[in-house]
Structure 1
């Protein structure tokens, strides 16, 4: 039973923060894990070494698979939370720009004010504020309103903002109304994402439960005297079954996550 517990400990260390912490990113994004990387790596290596000494090669491979998929899921959900946070910041920036434009401020001034407001409280680490500063500088210098691809602004909404700005400059249309349409589109997309994720909460929970069921089966077999832990960690066919089982569970978790992403991004 000890190799299984060590494997679970490695997976927990790789998993980073709980899901509640990712929900808090919509208010304040924090990219650091609860366990620093410099501390987590040696602990995971030592844990895998202990598994190798106690159970052999097969438990090490299974523990590595479990830790790897836990690390992938943690990074994947962190990226989703970062995209949601970036979208919320962009909505706030558009609201600030529209408010400035509605009282008669020039577009460059409105963009600069929004950048300054977005930089407040973020120590200048906001990608939205950085992109707005670039837009404001180019507008003040009379340059072309485009968004740099290396500014962390891979959202299509940034291209729509640039097109709206160019259209307003070329045809004399009110920029506030064009930006308001971009903001309305972002609000609708956020609502669709939230509704879709809420609808997928049940299937995701089912996938998580199915991933845990093999552990419950092993515990039940151990309690009834079937000794599945000794068989799985004893090498031979048991070790092969342990690796295959861990691989199938990991593939199922990754597959279910990919399916959910395709539904949301469709």
Structure 2
């Protein structure tokens, strides 16, 4: 008992106070370094629908009938395609974020009194994405050459930068202020998009949970002695129900994902 009291007293004596906690937080912030631009803009490896479909067919044939193999291949290909699109969107958002940081650096260089050519060259020297550097250089140095009807989010941002440069050339307003305004707008849109994603995290989790309920029902049916998997894969009525269930499941997931993407996209537009 006395040993336990002594340990508690020693812990209370050694417990860091508010000042020590603040010093630790400051040290962690000082040691934290931003990731290099080349690492941020590197695109993740793409997922291939065709190999996923082949793997799904092989696994489905190993555990079930040819119908199960076809359904497994179709579901695997659709899942791989969805994953590839999600990775492409994340890579595009990372490039837009890197471009936003580059615009902030350009605005800082211009405020320091450096000419546009020198400021652009200084910022692009640390850019690890060649296509991103080329697009930013074109928007800053030759804004009239930027397409007026871009397609991707990065193209839209470059079109805004080109429009800001043209506005500065035509009206004589400060280019640093115009570029900084574009940067602030991009950061505000990113914050809004992140807040909307946080707000839609609940519906996405609910959709994923509901999507897994049929598998739970199969497991529960097998646990009580029934054979739902055999009924679904060997009887004509069960096969019809299996195809209809997979189709409805895919339609529900696609519809919920589309609703979330439309909500996030409308906020970012």
* Separation in 2, partners of 1:26, 1:255: 34
* Separation in 2, partners of 1:89, 1:118: 9
Q: Which stretches in structure 1 are left out of the alignment for 5+ residues?
A: 1-24, 120-124
Q: Aligned-pair distance for 1:77?
A: 1.5
Q: Aligned-pair distance for 1:94?
A: 0.4
> Is contact 2:139–2:161 with CA below 8 Å preserved after alignment?
no
- TM-score normalised over the length of structure 2: 0.75
Q: Aligned-pair distance for 1:42?
A: 5.3
Q: Which stretches in structure 2 are left out of the alignment for 5+ residues?
A: 1-37
> For 1:118, what is the secondary structure of its paired residue?
coil
Deviation >6 Å, runs of 4+: 149-153
Q: Which structure's relative contact order is higher, taking Cα pairs within 8 Å and 6+ residues apart? A: 1
> For 1:157, what is the secondary structure of its paired residue?
helix
Aligned to 1:130: 134
Aligned to 2:105: 96
What CA deviation, in whole Å up to 9, does each residue of 1:55-113 have, x standing for no partner? 22321232123213312320232122122202211111101101110111222222222
- TM-score normalised over the length of structure 1: 0.76
- Decide which structure has the larger Cα Rg and report it: 2
* Separation in 2, partners of 1:153, 1:187: 14
Structure 1 residue 80 and structure 2 residue 89: aligned?
A: yes
Q: Aligned-pair distance for 1:31?
A: 1.7
Q: Aligned-pair distance for 1:261?
A: 0.8
Residues 112 and 28 of structure 1: CA distance in aligned 2, closer, same or farther (over 3 Å):
closer
- The range that moved more, 44-53 or 90-99, is 44-53
Residues 230 and 95 of structure 1: CA distance in aligned 2, closer, same or farther (over 3 Å):
same
